[in-house]
């Protein structure tokens, strides 16, 4: 499959997701905040809602591929299994169990996939290996923690143009997600020919010293990308990302958009999304206050040996306001739809339930949680069709339809 994402709104053709699994049942009211949840979801209903969401996309002709199935393909190769398990155990700081996890006489490839998402307790490890490894005597302690946020597949990686940004996650509890997604992107026979523009394993010290997450990356066109400087994405990373994009000719302009570094606004796409060319949805309490925008453009650092001048990212303070930037990049007037229609009493509530985190599956066609009634009504007033999905359990992880998808390909036409 060839990846290609040139904007946020052309017809969605292929998307990567992760169906919530046993990792969700690892959550308790004692550990849920550690794993970035506000409540403990009911797994069966969570899966039903996720299945309805992916079924809706398939019914509309969108190819839906599952991270866990692709990872299973990768882990059936012995060399890949060893390298993936080694990296997972190193990043989780449990290298002592790596050799045992690589042993398919103890763990089938299917069981290993489950372990990489659901984690492993000391008791489960002892049952398989006969070894007692918990120094505290607590057999329920995690040797390998679960990854319950994995169904938010937007954050570990994002396609920009025909290349991929592999994220470095802000919280340790989410690092494994980017490791597993990158393993698929680099090793799966169907996907490994798509170049990784930023964050690949070939130059990790150069590309990945700072944090960045996919929810902060919004693609305006073939030429321009917005990146939120947020709780999860650092300004230093945005400059490095811009440099890498310019070096391979991926885009011409990268805009750094500062938003409050608060959990309620964890990523740019929780307060701003694109519905169609020139049509945006935003949470005005944050977006109307955006200032200190910076623009990165390609420059040259001077001569660098026989290769000539090195391409760098020149940081320029943006004199235009945010809407003016959008107007110029879209090449048309901009219409702003406010979360909950701008009614402050409801806008804060619907922002927290991911009303702004709409997934465009085509021009003026978005998917959103059914509970965000006033945002849906406001979008409808501007000719936008909303496909509503059930959300009683999905919403508990603080992420919406956009968060749950990694678009791989959109149809050409609007970029």
| pLDDT of the chain, 415 residues: tens digit per residue | 899 999 999 999 999 999 999 999 999 999 999 999 989 999 999 999 999 999 999 999 999 999 999 999 999 999 999 999 999 988 888 877 888 887 777 888 999 999 999 999 988 888 888 776 655 556 578 889 999 999 999 999 999 999 999 999 999 999 999 999 999 999 999 999 999 999 987 766 677 678 999 999 999 999 999 999 999 999 999 999 999 999 888 899 999 999 998 888 889 999 999 999 999 999 999 999 998 999 999 987 654 443 446 889 999 999 999 999 999 999 999 999 999 999 998 999 999 999 999 999 999 999 999 999 999 999 999 999 999 999 999 999 889 999 999 999 999 754 4
Number of H helices, E strands in the chain: 13, 19
Please calculate the CA angle 203-205-211 and round it to the nearest 5 degrees.
110
Please calculate the CA angle 360-361-364 and round it to the nearest 5 degrees.
60
* CA gap 93, 377 in Å, rounded: 48
* CA gap 337, 227 in Å, rounded: 20
> Is 403 assigned a catalytic role?
yes
Question: Which fold would CATH assign to domain 12-70+148-406?
Answer: 3.75.10
Distances from the Cα of 39 to the Cαs of 26, 141, 331, 381, 382, in angstroms? 12, 21, 43, 33, 34
Domain boundaries, the chain: 12-70+148-406, 93-144
Please pick, among 89, 245, 367, 403, the residue that the annotation labels catalytic: 403
């Amino acid at each position: 499959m060839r990846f290609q994402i040139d904007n946020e709104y052309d017809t969605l053709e292929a998307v990567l997701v992760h169906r919530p699994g046993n990792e969700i049942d690892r959550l308790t009211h004692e550990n849920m905040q550690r794993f970035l949840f506000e409540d403990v979801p009911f797994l069966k209903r969570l899966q039903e809602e996720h299945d309805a969401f992916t079924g809706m996309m398939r019914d509309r002709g969108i190819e839906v591929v599952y991270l866990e199935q692709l990872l299973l393909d990768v882990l059936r190769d012995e060399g890949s299994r060893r390298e993936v398990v080694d990296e997972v155990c190193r990043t989780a700081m449990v290298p002592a169990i790596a050799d045992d996890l690589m042993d398919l006489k103890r763990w089938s490839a299917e069981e290993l996939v489950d372990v990489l998402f659901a984690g492993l307790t000391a008791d489960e490890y002892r049952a398989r290996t006969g070894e007692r490894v918990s120094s505290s005597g607590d057999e329920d302690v995690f040797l390998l923690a679960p990854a319950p946020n994995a169904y938010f597949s937007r954050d570990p990686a994002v396609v920009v143009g025909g290349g991929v940004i592999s994220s470095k996650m802000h919280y340790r509890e989410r690092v494994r997600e980017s490791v597993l997604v990158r393993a698929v992107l680099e090793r799966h026979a169907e996907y490994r020919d798509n170049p990784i523009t930023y964050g690949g394993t070939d130059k990790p010290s150069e590309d990945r010293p700072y944090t960045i997450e996919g929810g902060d990356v919004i693609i305006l066109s073939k030429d321009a990308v917005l990146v939120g400087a947020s709780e999860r994405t650092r300004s230093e990373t945005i400059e490095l990302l811009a440099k890498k994009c310019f070096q391979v000719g991926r885009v011409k302009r990268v805009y750094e958009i500062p938003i409050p570094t608060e959990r309620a606004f964890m990523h740019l796409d929780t307060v701003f999304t694109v519905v169609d060319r020139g049509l945006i949805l935003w949470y005005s309490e944050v977006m109307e206050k955006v200032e200190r925008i910076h623009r990165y453009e390609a420059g040259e650092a001077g001569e660098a040996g026989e290769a000539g001048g090195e391409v760098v990212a020149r940081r320029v303070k943006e004199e235009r306001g945010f809407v003016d930037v959008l107007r110029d990049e879209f090449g048309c007037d901009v219409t702003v739809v406010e979360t909950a229609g701008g009614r402050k009493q409801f806008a804060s509530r619907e922002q927290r339930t991911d009303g702004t985190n709409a997934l465009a599956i085509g021009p003026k066609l978005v998917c959103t949680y059914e509970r965000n009634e006033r945002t849906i009504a406001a979008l409808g007033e501007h000719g936008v069709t909303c496909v509503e999905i059930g959300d009683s359990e999905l919403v508990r992880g603080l992420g919406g339809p956009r968060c749950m998808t990694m678009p791989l390909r959109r149809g050409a036409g609007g970029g």
